[in-house]
Amino acid sequence: MQDGRRIALNAALMLLKQAIMAVLGVVFVGYLARKVGVAAWGEFQASLAIAGIVTIAAGIGVRGYLAREIAVKPELGPRHLGAALTIRGVTGTLVLGATVAVVLATRSGLGAQLVVLAAASQLATLLYSTMWLSFEAHERFQYILYAELGARLFVIALSAALLALGFGVVAAAAAFVLGNVLELGITAHYLRSRLYRPELTTPPAELWEIVKRSLPIGALGALTSALLQTDRVMLRALCDEEAVGVYSAAWVLSENFRMLPDVLLGAAFAAGMRLYAQDSEAFGRLYRGCMLVAALFGLPVAAGVFLLAPDIVQLVYGSAGDYAPAADVLRILACGVPVTFAFQVVTLPLLAAKREVAMVKLLAVALVADVALNLLLLPRYRAVGAACATLAVSAGSLIASWGLSARWTRRVELGRIAAILAATAAMTSAAYAARALAGMWASIAVGAAVYVALLLALRAVSFRELRALLARRVRASPATAA
């Protein structure tokens, strides 16, 4: 199977997974947030952010480092996965256990209970996401879809039943823990039955060498995670749980769209690592195509969500005024979707070239800037200020990383990007008029039709490319074919 066909198939599977998870997640999140109220919802989200931040130290980049190694040398899969599980399992247990001990010693009540449950949930997530590296490296994305879908349906059913019976946010958090444990079990089953059993035989000296080699990519992952969680943690520290609730209401929705770039990078990662090492011309075509896809999806998603943010918030969270301010936050966060898309593509050659140190320096500056902007903006602007800080830092990171990968960014077809921008602008105007006349759903239908028509009319994409995409066929370069 050719690389282009594999990438298209993997992207389709991951996109299907993300679409299903997004629909189920948004429906459930809206129900949960309405049931428990904005303050309890904010406390729940803050606990998840705290658990997410402390696990930054768990594994210190082992997952990303070994995934890249397995993609190049698949025969190392069982041994490398065993090493990753050992390192991440031990470090995750230590840091999360320490977090629970500190929380129980210093806090009590709802916040402490939620942090303890979030820590247990995060440990299960850490383990099953480690197992995913084998599915990603061997391009078996369907098993991630199966595990995610089964666990998500379980969580939704159990949480909804508990909330309907009168239990509160703690019961819902406990259901999340059970769901993640179930997902760990399903993932382990597919790993053993479809790929291999991890070999937990790596000696301590070799584990230590893996840890040292993983440090640059580990620092990269740590900084990325910190950037994702910092806003909610600082909102809880500088403002209150209601500010966290409003921000999280928008963040959860925007995150479903921001996960699309992860789908693109995940689908292209293994092929990208191989092509960069073996066929630079084919890698250049892959890079150019990924950037085009980033613009094709990122720009209209941002424009559409910006336009329809009040309707989306009302649809998900109801007409109660508690969540209405989330619409402004969602508009700002939506503007970051194409930025995240482009950033993921730009980092592909940097990861392939093992330039993690340069990326670490970039993201360290970004994290400092994010904290500084939050300190400046949160006391006055609260959730809106946090969203502005996130967007500003994301844009700055993209500009800097664009310069780091100048050899490849020069391959971007700016004329086609300009055509996509024009199509997006016309789509937004048509959708705005349709929304005023017939509401949100008509706006979506009209906007989509206008956008596709203009993409073809302006030759941003062609019928030939659409046929090639549907056929999932991309020719290798002459060097590879030989």
Q: pLDDT exceeding 70 applies to what percent of the chain?
A: 85
In a domain, 430, yes or no: no
User: What residue type is assigned to position 441 of the chain?
Assistant: W
Q: How many domains is the chain built from?
A: 1
Domain that holds residue 321: 3-412
How much is the pTM?
0.68
In a domain, 105, yes or no: yes
- The angle subtended at Cα 419 by Cα 417 and Cα 425, nearest 5°, is 105
**What is the Cα–Cα distance from 223 to 226, expressed in whole angstroms?**
5
In a domain, 439, yes or no: no
What phi and psi values does residue 190 have, to the nearest 5 degrees?
-65, -35
**What is the Cα–Cα distance from 378 to 244, expressed in whole angstroms?**
11
Q: Which of 244, 282, 275 is nearest to 387 (CA)?
A: 244
Residue 476 has pLDDT above 60, yes or no: no
Q: Which of 177, 158, 159 is nearest to 168 (CA)?
A: 159
Residue 227 has pLDDT above 60, yes or no: yes
pLDDT of res. 482: 30
**What is the Cα–Cα distance from 439 to 334, expressed in whole angstroms?**
20
- The angle subtended at Cα 474 by Cα 473 and Cα 475, nearest 5°, is 120
In a domain, 427, yes or no: no
Is residue 388 within 8 Å of 231, Cβ to Cβ?
A: no
What band does 166 get if pLDDT is binned at 50, 70 and 90? confident
What phi and psi values does residue 109 have, to the nearest 5 degrees?
85, -160
DSSP for 381-450, written as a single string: HHHHHHHHHHHHHHHHHHHHHHHHTHHHHTTS-HHHHHHHHHHHHHHHHHHHHHHHHH-HHHHHHHHHHH
In a domain, 318, yes or no: yes
Is residue 363 within 8 Å of 220, Cβ to Cβ?
A: yes
Structure tokens at 37: 């109220």
Between 159 and 261, name the one with better pLDDT: 159
Digit-coded pLDDT (tens) for 302-317: 999 999 999 998 888 8
| Residue matched to tokens 């966290």 | 244
Residues written for the chain: 482
**Residue 482 burial (C-beta neighbours within 10 Å; 0-12, 13-18, 19+):** exposed
Q: pLDDT exceeding 90 applies to what percent of the chain?
A: 28
- The angle subtended at Cα 118 by Cα 189 and Cα 249, nearest 5°, is 105
In a domain, 91, yes or no: yes
Digit-coded pLDDT (tens) for 30-82: 777 777 887 887 888 888 888 887 887 676 677 777 777 776 677 878 888 88
- Tell me which H or E stretch contains 189: helix 169-190
**What is the Cα–Cα distance from 118 to 175, expressed in whole angstroms?**
11
What band does 270 get if pLDDT is binned at 50, 70 and 90? low
In a domain, 478, yes or no: no
pLDDT of res. 427: 95
Is residue 281 within 8 Å of 402, Cβ to Cβ?
A: no
